[in-house]
Amino acid sequence: MWVGEQSGGMTDRELAETAADGLSVLANPLRLRILLALSETRQPDWEQRGMSYSDLRAAVGVEDGGRFNYHLDELRGRFVGNEDGHYWLSAAGWRIVDELYAGTFSGSHERREGELSYTCDADDEPLTATVEHGLIEVTCPTHGTVFDMTLPFSLLDDSDRDLDDLYEYAFRQAQQYVESVCSDVCPHCGGRFDGPDVEHAEVKQREYLLVGFRCRRCAVAFRLPIEQIVVFRPPVVGFFDDYGIDATSPALYDRSGEWTMDVHEHEDGFVVAFECGGERLTLDLDRSLATRSPSREPIDDDDEAKLTEERNG
């Protein structure tokens, strides 16, 4: 039984104590400068062995050797590896550097708000994006919030990127998130999921077949429309690509006038069907939401009759 088990078999209290210990090691600007200096060795070189002691010390620029050694020593093991007088970042060290560059611990940015060039797929109303506190939120005047996602602070600060850019990036992030969940790996903690629980529900005046997942290890739980689970699967991406629609971009929903979708539940699973350009793609999903038999066929009446004839021999 997984329920109640925490990261690495630790309780919340143990996890917090170990992490607080690690964070206290990092709570020093000189130590963070050492990590940033070591990140300079992120080179396309398979044989790179990190930095020599003298290069590292020169890069950080500390006069006092004793002080430098003390702080480097505190980082060794958990955040910095070393051997034969060379130093490199451990996996945990890399994570910390990534978060430093992402502005996670230092980021703050101006609130940004504006109209996107995308419209709501249900009513064609212009969508608005608000970016605040590391979060992008996309809203429709009729339907309220239709999308939200956290983003690196450094990305939100980049004035070269307009709100459309941020939304497109966030959309793909969400896609990776869903793919991770569908492979039963929690994107936050690596835990397995309970579910999927599928239920019919009305949300913001629209009928959905909602799929719910709950991580057994961390606190993550969410519900998504079933079509969002399958829309990035290869048969669907290929189907839309044949009609010049990029299913991996928000343009998919913006051009909803060109395609329709139907979902329904049956005895041992679900059917999601997309129609576009006179063709229908049908995905039969089992209860675990695995794709059983994708099929494509023309929806033209004549063709339909022909197909039925063929099937009947």
Burial of 51 (0-12, 13-18, 19+ CB in 10 A): buried
Asked whether position 67 contacts Zn ion by CB under 5 A, the answer is no
> For Zn ion, which is the closer residue by CB, 36 or 218?
218
Least Å from the CB of residue 48 to Zn ion: 33
* Binding letters toward Zn ion, positions 142-171, x by CB under 5 A: xx----------------------------
Least Å from the CB of residue 143 to Zn ion: 4
Asked whether position 140 contacts Zn ion by CB under 5 A, the answer is yes
Residues 64, 70: Cα–Cα separation, whole Å: 10
Q: Which of 215, 230, 281, 285 binds Zn ion (CB under 5 A)?
A: 215
Least Å from the CB of residue 204 to Zn ion: 8
Asked whether position 218 contacts Zn ion by CB under 5 A, the answer is yes
Least Å from the CB of residue 217 to Zn ion: 5
Least Å from the CB of residue 25 to Zn ion: 25
Check if the beta carbon of residue 131 is closer than 8 Å to that of residue 111: yes
Which one of the spans 22-30, 136-144, 172-180, 228-236 is the region binding Zn ion (CB under 5 A)? Answer: 136-144
Site for Zn ion in 98-127 (CB under 5 A): 120, 122-123, 125
> For Zn ion, which is the closer residue by CB, 51 or 215?
215
Least Å from the CB of residue 69 to Zn ion: 39
Q: Which two tokens stand for residue 23?
A: 């964070």
> Residue count at the site for Zn ion (CB under 5 A)?
15
Site for Zn ion in 181-200 (CB under 5 A): 186, 188-189, 191
Which one of the spans 1-9, 208-216, 281-289, 304-312 is the region binding Zn ion (CB under 5 A)? Answer: 208-216
Which one of the spans 20-28, 106-114, 135-143, 266-274 is the region binding Zn ion (CB under 5 A)? Answer: 135-143
Residues 102, 96: Cα–Cα separation, whole Å: 10
Least Å from the CB of residue 146 to Zn ion: 7
Burial of 211 (0-12, 13-18, 19+ CB in 10 A): buried
Q: Which residues bind Zn ion (CB under 5 A)?
A: 120, 122-123, 125, 140, 142-143, 186, 188-189, 191, 215, 217-218, 220
